Structure 1
């Protein structure tokens, strides 16, 4: 029986077998992305929703959306935001549907790519996932440091602490959280982070509208500004920013923490998370662009001025949410390197040696991320390039290609053809978006490096 035939056969019997069959886990243990029980997860669809919402709907993801709309203008900006939402929701469901591909539970993006495309797919996805994870954590660490500094400046206007020091403080806190064993152990942390996402969105949207009503609406400019070349590169950069805002390079890893029926629970979790995403993303993007027009800052909180206490509250929500998101995205790196550091002489390891090795690994990772974030705190640029190079291939292109490769088909011929056309269109168009976003982001990073010195206190 071929792999495609095995897949179709398994699909027909899945409803009866899913609660009875247990397969051996392929993900790395502990700091890795699987649970301690392997691929047999313990989480519910609500836990999946917490994880998905935490990884996607971060303040660092949707705080730049008003600026992205300002770089694209109303028509193109709204179209890009809405199409990005629908495309990633659809793509996420495709990835969830491939959970049992080839008769095995695919517990990581890397293993799913390997089973479909072979070693080339494995290493390609590994590279994209590492770029997405590391780039995302650099961007959100800058955002967390900026929020901590804003809180500090509210209480100590003449304080001497710099952005770099707050980035280091946040990095030290994340190092402590990094000692938690796996994603499932973060479920209650991410539950708090999900509610913080709602709190951040509600507070920021309310304060944004409040500020917008107190500005001179007649003088507000919503037109694209700058030279022709500047407008073009800004629009490229904005496409990368929107791609970043929907980034989730962890879906199979999250699904491995969910109990059977894993597909059904993951479908529910994804859809619930996207309900939160639609409400928060669209509301903040539209209200932020309406309130500040072309002058809106890359990090929306920097555009807010009154009332001060609500801005402080929004920054507190942002820091709480980012702390959980950071942990989700560092897990693929931990899993990848742990699989090599801890696999040798497994029978002769002691608990102390395992702890020391893991502590060394997590400390090295956190030191690297903190150093880059402190040296080049260009939040908007990292958001755009991470979205273009890391998240677009993983969240837009790969799911469509993977589903086509799996050979799964619908019985209705018209629906089957329509789905194939849709998948091909998504993969081609977002490949173009990745290229354009990368061009725009690289240009702005070069300009910022020329303008600011390293370790500049933004």
Structure 2
């Protein structure tokens, strides 16, 4: 659950300000915990049947065809968007390690670091399924907690900058408004684990006496406690120390102690290697299923080899073309993650369980839906503007 989005939270705070930033960070934690609980509960709501994929639940709720059209495109955008961001994150972290540990070395362009990071996935992408990446995923989880702790601890150790400014980053009204929207997307991006929750729960054995939702919910509770312990200190201490001068990746703002900051960036690289595979596996599953069942390709090793290598190459190429961490997070956070995380589970819950009108459940779900839809509309606007502004100053493929 603790993704690379945690590194952008101080940047999001600088675009939102203290009050709105703390409120929105807390609201997002509560809402996404609630919607994640809903998804765990709906996994086995039909006796004797398990919804092992997000789109299977969508088909049960909305119908065979409509469910696919609603859920699958959103899942694909989420997974592909994450994989692109992870390519950028891995490349930038490798570049930061090189800059910190090799001060006399010749500068190497970000493009090459993204390619170095991407090359690992040409090998790992041929692992058979989610269970096979469990070791990589465990390492990723440990790394994400480690670099989160280093991020806020190193920031606290540095102390507040003498010229710190807690005002909005932009000095124009339009810039402030669009920056606020971008900040919304950055927060939404940080809470993006719902996309694969069904697939993860599907790996847990289940019987009528011991349904999978019990151990899954224990995992969710532990995960969200860890999320809170990582997200809030990074967001609040990072913003407190750097103010509105903080980078869109907090680790890029830190310089000392060199060995610790370098270690944190190495942890980020290990983490996003594992996370890339977790989300890529769902895309591989979708593409290979369509190609074998709908397009009548034979499920051969050659098909698997071509599909997975082409996918890795495409995500790497897009990351090299648009290596804008903050803008990508803002855009994908609203456009893709808000629907699958903030309000789609609520729509499904209302459709299935039909809570009594004006009851607590009814109000809770409609509040999440309205909040999520506002995120979906506003956040991509801010993220896209950020990308466009960065494009003006960036030389493509440099």
- TM-score interval, normalised by the smaller of the two chains: over 0.9
In structure 1, what is the equivalent of residue 271 of structure 2?
321
The structural deviation recorded for 1:345 is 10
Question: Which sections of structure 2, spanning at least 5 residues, go unmatched?
Answer: none
In structure 2, what is the equivalent of residue 361 of structure 1?
307
The structural deviation recorded for 1:408 is 5.8
3-state SS, counterpart of residue 250 of structure 1 = helix
Kindly report structure 1 stretches of 4+ aligned residues shifted beyond 3 Å.
Answer: 342-346
For structure 1, which segment, 187-196 or 315-324, has the greater mean C-alpha deviation from structure 2 after superposition?
187-196
Q: What does 1:431-450 correspond to in 2, within 5 Å?
A: 431-450=373-392
The structural deviation recorded for 1:441 is 1.2
Work out whether residues 147 and 318 of structure 1, in 8 Å CA contact, stay in contact via their aligned partners in 2.
yes
In structure 1, what is the equivalent of residue 28 of structure 2?
84
The structural deviation recorded for 1:406 is 0.9
Task: Work out the CA distance in 1 between the residues paired with 2:389 and 2:150.
Answer: 33
Deviations 1:399-425 (A, max 9, x none): 11111111265xxx79x8111111011
Task: Work out the CA distance in 1 between the residues paired with 2:164 and 2:80.
Answer: 37
3-state SS, counterpart of residue 63 of structure 1 = helix
In structure 1, what is the equivalent of residue 366 of structure 2?
424
Deviations 1:153-184 (A, max 9, x none): 22323234221111111111012111111111
In structure 2, what is the equivalent of residue 333 of structure 1?
283
Q: What does 1:198-209 correspond to in 2, within 5 Å?
A: 198-209=145-156
Deviations 1:340-380 (A, max 9, x none): 3334899x96xxx7222111011010010000001111111
State the TM-score, normalized to the length of structure 1: 0.82
Work out whether residues 144 and 170 of structure 1, in 8 Å CA contact, stay in contact via their aligned partners in 2.
yes
Deviations 1:225-258 (A, max 9, x none): 4111111000000001100000121111111111
Alignment partner of 1:62 is 2:9: no
Work out whether residues 393 and 431 of structure 1, in 8 Å CA contact, stay in contact via their aligned partners in 2.
yes
Alignment partner of 1:245 is 2:215: no
Task: Work out the CA distance in 2 between the residues paired with 1:345 and 1:438.
Answer: 34
For structure 1, which segment, 73-82 or 438-447, has the greater mean C-alpha deviation from structure 2 after superposition?
438-447
Q: CA RMSD in A?
A: 1.8
Work out whether residues 342 and 354 of structure 1, in 8 Å CA contact, stay in contact via their aligned partners in 2.
no
Aligned match of 2:338 in 383, 386, 392?
392
* Pairs aligned (count): 389
Work out whether residues 101 and 406 of structure 1, in 8 Å CA contact, stay in contact via their aligned partners in 2.
no
Question: Which sections of structure 1, spanning at least 5 residues, go unmatched?
Answer: 1-55
Alignment partner of 1:148 is 2:94: yes
Work out whether residues 153 and 159 of structure 1, in 8 Å CA contact, stay in contact via their aligned partners in 2.
no
Aligned match of 2:173 in 225, 228, 232?
228
Work out whether residues 377 and 455 of structure 1, in 8 Å CA contact, stay in contact via their aligned partners in 2.
no
Task: Work out the CA distance in 1 between the residues paired with 2:187 and 2:133.
Answer: 27
Work out whether residues 211 and 305 of structure 1, in 8 Å CA contact, stay in contact via their aligned partners in 2.
no
Alignment partner of 1:108 is 2:50: no
Work out whether residues 145 and 170 of structure 1, in 8 Å CA contact, stay in contact via their aligned partners in 2.
yes
Work out whether residues 12 and 184 of structure 2, in 8 Å CA contact, stay in contact via their aligned partners in 1.
yes
In structure 2, what is the equivalent of residue 376 of structure 1?
322
The structural deviation recorded for 1:448 is 1.9
Task: Work out the CA distance in 2 between the residues paired with 1:135 and 1:340.
Answer: 20
The structural deviation recorded for 1:200 is 0.8
Pair member with larger Rg: 1
In structure 2, what is the equivalent of residue 95 of structure 1?
39
Alignment partner of 1:121 is 2:71: no
State the TM-score, normalized to the length of structure 2: 0.94
In structure 2, what is the equivalent of residue 191 of structure 1?
138
Alignment partner of 1:74 is 2:24: no
In structure 2, what is the equivalent of residue 401 of structure 1?
347
Q: What does 1:291-330 correspond to in 2, within 5 Å?
A: 291-330=241-280
Work out whether residues 87 and 319 of structure 2, in 8 Å CA contact, stay in contact via their aligned partners in 1.
yes
Work out whether residues 95 and 113 of structure 2, in 8 Å CA contact, stay in contact via their aligned partners in 1.
yes
In structure 2, what is the equivalent of residue 173 of structure 1?
120
Task: Work out the CA distance in 1 between the residues paired with 2:167 and 2:261.
Answer: 27
Task: Work out the CA distance in 2 between the residues paired with 1:298 and 1:267.
Answer: 33
The structural deviation recorded for 1:120 is 1.6
